[in-house]
Amino acid sequence: MLAPDYDVVVVGAGFAGLAATWQLRKAGKKVRLIEARDRVGGRVWTEHLSPQLYIEKGGQWMGATQDRLRAYAQNFGVETFKTHTTGANLLHIEGKRKLYKGLIPSLSWPALLNLDYAIKRLNRMARTVNLTSPWLTHKAQEWDAMTLQYWLDKNLKFRAAHQLLTIGLEAIFAAHPSDISLLHALFYIKSGRDLETLMNVENGAQEERFVGGAQSIAEKIATECSTSLSLDTAALAIKQHENIVVVSTPIEEISARKAIIAIPPPLVSKLIFEPTLPAHQHQLFQRMFMGAVVKSYVLYERPFWRNQGLSGQAVTTDSPLQIWFDNSPAEGTVGVMTGFALARQAQNFMQKDTEERQAIATQTLVNLLGEKARNIDRYIDKSWHNEWWSGGCYAAIMPPGAWTGVGQYLRKPFIHLHWAGTETSDVWNGYIDGAIRSGERAAAEVLALL
Amino acid sequence: MLAPDYDVVVVGAGFAGLAATWQLRKAGKKVRLIEARDRVGGRVWTEHLSPQLYIEKGGQWMGATQDRLRAYAQNFGVETFKTHTTGANLLHIEGKRKLYKGLIPSLSWPALLNLDYAIKRLNRMARTVNLTSPWLTHKAQEWDAMTLQYWLDKNLKFRAAHQLLTIGLEAIFAAHPSDISLLHALFYIKSGRDLETLMNVENGAQEERFVGGAQSIAEKIATECSTSLSLDTAALAIKQHENIVVVSTPIEEISARKAIIAIPPPLVSKLIFEPTLPAHQHQLFQRMFMGAVVKSYVLYERPFWRNQGLSGQAVTTDSPLQIWFDNSPAEGTVGVMTGFALARQAQNFMQKDTEERQAIATQTLVNLLGEKARNIDRYIDKSWHNEWWSGGCYAAIMPPGAWTGVGQYLRKPFIHLHWAGTETSDVWNGYIDGAIRSGERAAAEVLALL
């Protein structure tokens, strides 16, 4: 066997693969980074509509305690600005329109107490989760035998409270609560600190946006690592020998001493492994599944709702686009509203044609913001469950039984293969910050062995 | 675009693909059948140890109401014989050894009543399932938000009853009850008539065996269809055009008017589709996962337990090999005991080396059958979750949320692609009989369009 061409080959140039590559290069290693798409960033993708205006098709926010993402933004000189929150939030629930401030809309007192109780209880349970080894959590077996849906049905007896927390949780997971292990939900909540942090804009995961878009950080890492990077180069097969790993692509074979696989877990099954993946890992990757989300953009000449004292943040039970944010540029020169269709709603929404989707989005905004919303400039949407190289968004989720059954194999190296990707992070799992952490962790694992 | 080479290309030569091919050929169609392995039969695989002795590494039984499998066996002249049941069954529960007759072991009266109640209740619920469209079942949402484990914990308060039904259900699903949607469990129970039918030998799914092994039926279909069949030919990519579908393999490109995909659903993700699979289907195939099972064979000079009045059928809570059958040849010339390690037990069992596995199997049989069992002739085992081209056994399972979320896309044709495989059958789903039915259904779909 000849000497390998590289120290490390990294598969996937999302934030995890980019972070791993950058760290390995800084440590003086010879690295090759391959990416199936014609762009870097993975589930983070900024589209520039004009020199002044861009939209975020994928991940876009940074929140408190997302320290690694913050460090990367600072290092690469990408500035941030606050998500617009001035004004009242809107709740549209079964035909009724209400204004509110902060996280919790105004419901009846019993519903409000019920909602508050459920959030507190989920947080309390989440605090007991063992983040690095969720299967060792005291109540792991019990919670992993339960869906999040079952827990909600049992604990939220007030319809409005149930509806609202369901929307909030679907916005967090991009999956239906029936799909999600309660243990995984609690793990995820703790991984991002607590439920309020995950749901909030201010002091929460949606607090800040990036000047020039979140993808610009990925692009700047890629520029710094440009001699390592090949786009349009999908990995097809991975062969491991005693001292070498060979990644086959349609273009060439790349050999290295170690490999970091930094793609969503459900996509791992698309690769051909020789020797084949350990059975446990193969079964784990079969179990994990990607969420489904559509981001729907409605563009206006101006963010007219701001003059009406509205923040643009809205929740509605009366549309497949259930959560809305004011996503206008920092200067507010143009009005941009972004709505999310989530989980089953996302799947159903994408069954309709573009015209129909635009009509639904517009009507939803008319209901929320008034007749002025009918006069739109442009409609654009982005469905992630249609993206072959992601398989869905935001992240891969554990159904019941997966964490306790095969979860311990999630990060386990296999000969020369190491695993990265936000799903392998114990902190900010599912977020850009978690992706970076996972890439750095995988790079550290590999460095210790080289 | 040139005219296609074939009317239909079938991917996968398990029973589903073979049945489809045979039916299409009988209808006068030009068919090509490709198979990744060097053999036909898929999850059915008979190994001949000598001209007189064979073992069944995979599916092996035929039961009452499995009419399509029976018809194929008769058509291809494969004879059957009864699974050995003469004598008392054994139960080894937490160190205590008991003898019993029939399906239900002798427990304390309250435990027995509890077990009986649970089985009756599962059957009663199963009867309400809409087999062709499980998501339309009256209580679909409620049951699909629950794991089978949760239901067992709630309804089986007697430890022995809980333990025994869990073993029985793991033997049926080859998955942990935490992994399985209650709705799917009920669907599966009804699909095979009722719980007793699934668990029983006499009048149940394990009633008869095949002379020469179950794979011999597959081989005889393959012989009849030999001009259609290519072994060692894995499908890599499937491209669809207006009037033609092209399946790429490492050897050649095969074009046809229609294609039938007859592989386990989780393996579909390994193929590259152009255009890409509809998002719903991609997400469904991400959700379904294969069970895990090890079949452990211990060979003796004679089936000595028969002289002790034992049937060889045994259940034990004290070994990873929890269910045992007398799997000796029809004439009883050699003694063969077959034990099953299931779900998490299967995964853990395969972490041990062969010597250790043999020691565990032998000791389990000594505990069950007495000291004579120590004197073994040979040990062989077969792990299915290590099989790359199956991904696990017996079948792909729906976790919570999958049937109600995306289940309706399971059999939905995609341009020229039609779906077969036992997982797509509403009758005897997960069994050989279901595989045949699915192949015949897919063939009929295609014939209606050609």
pLDDT tens digits along B28-85: 999 999 999 999 999 999 999 998 899 999 999 999 999 999 999 999 999 999 999 9
Q: Is the pLDDT of residue A94 over 90?
A: no
CA distance B269 to chain A (A): 6
B230 inside domain = yes
CB of B395 closer than 8 Å to CB of B264: yes
Residues A171 and A145 in one domain: yes
Lowest mean pLDDT among A223-227, B106-110, B146-150, B266-270: B106-110
Contacts across the A-B interface (CB distance below 8 Å) = 146
Cβ <8 Å between A401 and B270: no
Residue from A338, A66, A342 nearest A207 by CA = A66
Residues A241 and A186 in one domain: no
Please tell me the pTM assigned to this model. Answer: 0.91
Q: For residue B85, what are the contacts with CB-CB under 8 A and spacing of at least 6?
A: B201, B202, B311, B313
- Say which residue, B348 or A338, is predicted with more confidence: A338
Residues B242 and B115 in one domain: no
Residue given tokens 């290092």 in the structure block: A75
Q: For residue A202, what are the contacts with CB-CB under 8 A and spacing of at least 6?
A: A85
What are the beta bridge partners of residue B54?
B48
Q: What is the pLDDT of residue A165?
A: 96
The dihedrals phi and psi of A365, each to the nearest 5 degrees, come to: -70, -30
B-interface mutation test, from A249, A263, A286, most B Cβ less than 10 A away: A286
Give contacts of A177 with chain B, Cβ < 8 Å: 145, 401
3-state secondary structure of B257: strand
CATH at B246: 3.50.50.60
A88 inside domain = no
Cα angle: B247, vertex B253, B255; to 5 degrees: 60
Q: What is the mean pLDDT of residues B415-437?
A: 98
Cβ <8 Å between A392 and B269: no
Lowest mean pLDDT among A221-225, B36-40, B145-149, B385-389: B385-389
How many C-beta neighbours within 10 Å does residue B230 have? 14
Burial class (CB in 10 A: 0-12, 13-18, 19+), B212: middle
Residue from A433, A439, A436 nearest A61 by CA = A433
Residue of A nearest to B399 (CA): A399
d(CA A407, CA A398): 9
In this complex, which of B269, B383, B400 lies closest to A178 when CB atoms are compared? Answer: B400
Give contacts of A153 with chain B, Cβ < 8 Å: 142, 145
| DSSP code at position B212 | T
Residue A162 has which token pair? Answer: 């149930």
How many C-beta neighbours within 10 Å does residue B450 have? 12
d(CA B72, CA B220): 10
Q: Is the pLDDT of residue A38 over 60?
A: yes
Residues A123 and A185 in one domain: yes
Counting residues of chain A whose pLDDT is more than 70, the rounded percentage is 100
What are the beta bridge partners of residue A255?
A246
d(CA A35, CA A249): 10
Residue from A113, A140, A141, A114 nearest A126 by CA = A140
C-alpha distances out from residue B224 to A133, B19, B266, B442, Å = 53, 11, 29, 19
Tell how far CA A176 is from the center of its chain: 15
Cβ <8 Å between B147 and A149: no
A231 inside domain = yes
Residue B423 has which token pair? Answer: 């997982």
C-alpha distances out from residue A121 to A151, A276, A312, Å = 11, 43, 29
Residue of A nearest to B270 (CA): A270
Q: What is the pLDDT of residue B433?
A: 98
Residues A114 and A181 in one domain: yes
Residue from B261, B258, B257 nearest B271 by CA = B261
Q: Does B239 touch chain A (CB under 8 A)?
A: no
Residues A108 and A250 in one domain: no
Q: What one-letter code names the amino acid at A107?
A: L
Give contacts of A287 with chain B, Cβ < 8 Å: 179, 289, 399
Q: Is the sign of the CA dihedral A329, A331, A335, A338 positive or negative?
A: positive
Helix (H) / strand (E) element for B436: namely: helix B432-449
CA distance A114 to chain B (A): 21
Q: What is A386-428 written as a DSSP string?
A: T-TTT-SSS-EEPPTTHHHHHGGGTT--BTTEEE-SGGG-SSS
What are the beta bridge partners of residue B299?
B336, B378
d(CA B393, CA A327): 48
> pLDDT tens-digit profile of B239-268?
999 999 999 998 999 999 999 999 999 999
B-interface mutation test, from A182, A248, A281, A289, most B Cβ less than 10 A away: A289
3-state secondary structure of A116: helix
CB of B167 closer than 8 Å to CB of B315: yes
Residue B43 has which token pair? Answer: 């999850």
Cβ <8 Å between B269 and A272: no
d(CA B316, CA B233): 42
Residue given tokens 């890629």 in the structure block: A222
Residue of B nearest to A399 (CA): B399
Cβ <8 Å between B269 and A270: yes
d(CA A281, CA B350): 13
Q: Is the pLDDT of residue A385 over 60?
A: yes
Residue of B nearest to A393 (CA): B283
Determine the structural domain holding residue B135 and report its residue range. Answer: 104-199
d(CA A27, CA A4): 18
In this complex, which of B269, B283, B383 lies closest to A292 when CB atoms are compared? Answer: B283
Q: Are strands A208-210 and B245-248 parallel, antiparallel or unpaired?
A: unpaired
How many C-beta neighbours within 10 Å does residue B88 have? 17
Q: Place B279 in a pLDDT band, splitting at 50, 70 and 90.
A: confident
Cβ <8 Å between B399 and A404: no
Counting residues of chain B whose pLDDT is more than 70, the rounded percentage is 100
Cβ <8 Å between B283 and A269: no
**What is the complex's ipTM, to 2 decimals?**
0.84
> pLDDT tens-digit profile of B315-341?
999 999 999 999 999 999 999 999 999
In this complex, which of B145, B149, B289 lies closest to A287 when CB atoms are compared? Answer: B289
Q: Is the pLDDT of residue A1 over 80?
A: no
CB of B421 closer than 8 Å to CB of B12: yes
Cβ <8 Å between A282 and B385: yes
The dihedrals phi and psi of B62, each to the nearest 5 degrees, come to: -130, 140
A362 inside domain = no
Give contacts of B405 with chain A, Cβ < 8 Å: 176, 178-179, 343-344, 347
Q: What is the pLDDT of residue A347?
A: 86
CA distance B54 to chain A (A): 26
Residues B178 and B264 in one domain: no
Query: Strand order of the sheet with strand A310-316?
Result: A96-100, A88-93, A310-316, A321-326, A335-342, A293-300, A378-383
Residues B133 and B277 in one domain: no
In our burial notation (b when 16+ CB lie closer than 10 A, e otherwise), range B401-435 reads bbbbbbbebbbeebebbbbbbbbbbbbbbbbbbbb
Q: Are strands A54-56 and A46-48 parallel, antiparallel or unpaired?
A: antiparallel
Residue of B nearest to A386 (CA): B279
Q: What is the mean pLDDT of residues B282-303?
A: 95
Residues A36 and A117 in one domain: no
Q: Is the pLDDT of residue B173 over 90?
A: yes
Q: What is the pLDDT of residue A172?
A: 97
d(CA A123, CA B207): 51
Q: What is the pLDDT of residue B1?
A: 57
The dihedrals phi and psi of B5, each to the nearest 5 degrees, come to: -70, -30
In this complex, which of B177, B279, B392 lies closest to A386 when CB atoms are compared? Answer: B279
Give contacts of B145 with chain A, Cβ < 8 Å: 147, 149-150, 153, 177-178
Cβ <8 Å between B405 and A176: yes
Q: Place B107 in a pLDDT band, splitting at 50, 70 and 90.
A: confident
CA distance A154 to chain B (A): 11
* Domains: count for chain B: 2
Count of alpha carbons within 13 Å of A184, Cβ hemisphere only? 35
Chain B residues 154-193 within an 8 A CB cutoff of chain A: 175-180
Residues A147 and A23 in one domain: no
B329 inside domain = no
Residues B402 and B277 in one domain: yes
Cβ <8 Å between A178 and B401: yes
Cβ <8 Å between A283 and B347: yes
Q: Is the pLDDT of residue B180 over 60?
A: yes
d(CA A338, CA A344): 18
Cβ <8 Å between A286 and B289: yes
Q: Does B399 touch chain A (CB under 8 A)?
A: yes
Cβ <8 Å between A400 and B266: no
Q: Does A348 touch chain B (CB under 8 A)?
A: no
Lowest mean pLDDT among A176-180, A431-435, B99-103, B227-231: B99-103
Alpha helices, H only, B47-158: 67-75, 109-127, 140-144, 148-155
d(CA A122, CA A185): 9
d(CA B391, CA B386): 7
Chain B residues 240-299 within an 8 A CB cutoff of chain A: 266-267, 269-270, 272, 276, 279-280, 282-283, 286-290, 292
Full 3-state SS string of A191-208: HCCCHHHHHCCCCCCCCE
Residue of B nearest to A272 (CA): B270
Cβ <8 Å between A150 and B146: yes
Residue of A nearest to B345 (CA): A405
Q: What is the pLDDT of residue B270?
A: 86
| DSSP code at position A147 | B
Q: What is the mean pLDDT of residues B202-211?
A: 96
Tell how far CA A380 is from the center of its chain: 20
> pLDDT tens-digit profile of B192-205?
999 999 999 999 99
d(CA A129, CA A68): 22
Residues B227 and B194 in one domain: no
Peptide linkage before A105 cis (omega within 30 of 0): no
Lowest mean pLDDT among B143-152, B176-185, B268-277: B268-277
B302 inside domain = no
Cβ <8 Å between A350 and B279: yes
A-interface mutation test, from B150, B153, B178, B387, most A Cβ less than 10 A away: B178
CATH at A183: 1.10.405.10
B340 inside domain = no
CA distance B228 to chain A (A): 26
Tell me how long chain A is.
Answer: 450
> pLDDT tens-digit profile of A214-264?
999 999 999 999 999 999 999 999 999 999 999 999 899 999 999 999 999
d(CA A46, CA A49): 10
A327 inside domain = no
In our burial notation (b when 16+ CB lie closer than 10 A, e otherwise), range A339-376 reads bbbbbbbbbebbeeeeeebbebbbebbebbbeeebeeb
Q: What is the pLDDT of residue A107?
A: 82
Q: Place B102 in a pLDDT band, splitting at 50, 70 and 90.
A: confident
Cβ <8 Å between B270 and A266: no
d(CA B303, CA B250): 47
Q: For residue A402, what are the contacts with CB-CB under 8 A and spacing of at least 6?
A: A144, A181, A184, A284, A287, A288, B179
